[in-house]
Amino acid sequence: MIPAIQAANVTVRYGKKTAVDDVSIVVQPGSVYALLGRNGSGKSSLVRAMLGQLRPNRGTATVLGEDVWKKRTQLMERVGIVPEDPDAPPDMRVRELAWFSSRLYSRWSASAFDARVARFGIPASARFGDLSKGQKKQVSLALALAASPELLILDDPTLGLDVVARKSLFEEVIADMADRGITVLITTHDLDSVEAIADRVGILKDGRLVLDEEVETLKARFRRIRLVSQPMELAQANLVAASVRQWGSGTEAVVSNYNDLELARLRDSVADVTPLTLEEIFIAVAGEQGAQS
């Protein structure tokens, strides 16, 4: 099976600063891949490299089996993109944006665009510059999906949106995935929403890919364990702590290789064991000293 996206040993530098450090990722067709990371972790640079918008200093990227740097023009007809900050001429009306886009995509569906914008409650006569931030993202999503893409790139699509707008956006993506089996690559900080739809997660930290795993496998091996004793007992049970902090007179640890048999060795010290959400796993893996920008 040809990957929808494949990045091989991609490195991106800006002068002396390394933004992406030897990253390799494979996104399988029909899947949803969530690329996560704190601000400044290299997500945007990696996505730009994978889309052929930025030539990496080292490594290669393919989209739908083609070299994205050599075939970007042809490939972009098969890829829908919702950028973090949607941009269009402010005086253009929504219907005019649709007309312009329809001339660029051979599989354009005017009915799909009109129906989606109507569901969002956005008038076709509205000027793009007069729309709210959430409405601009909804129009961008409608434009991207109306092109009938094989691959959809969502770059932090819910940033700045309220709860209702976030729910609406994800419902639209999920509906199209079910109808057409499109592949989705999403970068986001909205981990609660993406946890419900992502098949696989990659976490970037300081430009390096520190985790790349199926969501269900990931959640199965992470646990929060509260001990009435000190953390050295974790090592005795062969449990690896991703993070440790004091809990009363004992210890609270997030372990990344949870195992019932190993935990049994600590039965006299364990006060509580709980599963983690994707957000809690991200915090434990990305760390609280990650880069900011």
Helices (H), 2-109: 43-50, 72-75, 94-102
Decide if 55 is inside a domain: yes
Decide if 282 is inside a domain: no
Decide if 134 is inside a domain: yes
Q: Tell me: do 207 and 256 sit in the same domain.
A: no
Q: Tell me: do 163 and 257 sit in the same domain.
A: no
Q: Tell me: do 131 and 177 sit in the same domain.
A: yes
Decide if 118 is inside a domain: yes
Nearest to 169 by CA among 147, 138, 198: 138
d(CA 188, CA 157): 7
Q: Strand 17-27 and strand 32-37: pairing?
A: unpaired
Q: Tell me: do 111 and 197 sit in the same domain.
A: yes
Supply the pLDDT for residue 28.
Answer: 95
Decide if 280 is inside a domain: no
Q: Tell me: do 178 and 247 sit in the same domain.
A: no
Q: What is the CATH number of the domain that holds 185?
A: 3.40.50.300
Q: Which residue has the higher pLDDT, 112 or 180?
A: 112
- Tokens read off for 134: 């959430």
Q: Tell me: do 126 and 171 sit in the same domain.
A: yes
Decide if 292 is inside a domain: no
d(CA 2, CA 190): 29
Q: Tell me: do 75 and 193 sit in the same domain.
A: yes
d(CA 49, CA 69): 9
- Tokens read off for 236: 């005795």
In the chain, the percentage of residues whose pLDDT exceeds 90 is: 59
Domain limits for position 247: 223-275
Burial class (CB in 10 A: 0-12, 13-18, 19+), 171: exposed
Q: Tell me: do 178 and 231 sit in the same domain.
A: no
Supply the pLDDT for residue 225.
Answer: 87
Task: Mean pLDDT check: name the lowest of 130-144, 179-193, 231-245.
Answer: 231-245
Domain count, the chain: 2
Q: Tell me: do 21 and 141 sit in the same domain.
A: yes
Q: Tell me: do 138 and 254 sit in the same domain.
A: no
d(CA 178, CA 157): 19
Decide if 290 is inside a domain: no
- The answer to whether the beta carbons of residues 225 and 277 sit under 8 Å apart is no
Query: Taking CA 68 as the corner, what is the angle to CA 70 and CA 44, rounded to the nearest 5 degrees?
Result: 135
Supply the pLDDT for residue 205.
Answer: 94
pLDDT tens-place string over residues 76-105: 899 999 988 888 999 999 999 999 999 999
d(CA 254, CA 257): 9
- Tokens read off for 112: 């799909």
Residue 249 has pLDDT above 50, yes or no: yes
Decide if 28 is inside a domain: yes
pLDDT tens-place string over residues 150-176: 999 998 888 777 888 788 778 877 777
Q: Tell me: do 166 and 47 sit in the same domain.
A: yes
Supply the pLDDT for residue 71.
Answer: 92
Query: Taking CA 152 as the corner, what is the angle to CA 33 and CA 212, rounded to the nearest 5 degrees?
Result: 15
First to last CA, the chain: 38
Q: Tell me: do 65 and 142 sit in the same domain.
A: yes
Average the pLDDT over 107-135 and give the result. 94
Supply the pLDDT for residue 165.
Answer: 79
- Tokens read off for 181: 């089996």
Question: How high does pLDDT run on average in the chain?
Answer: 88
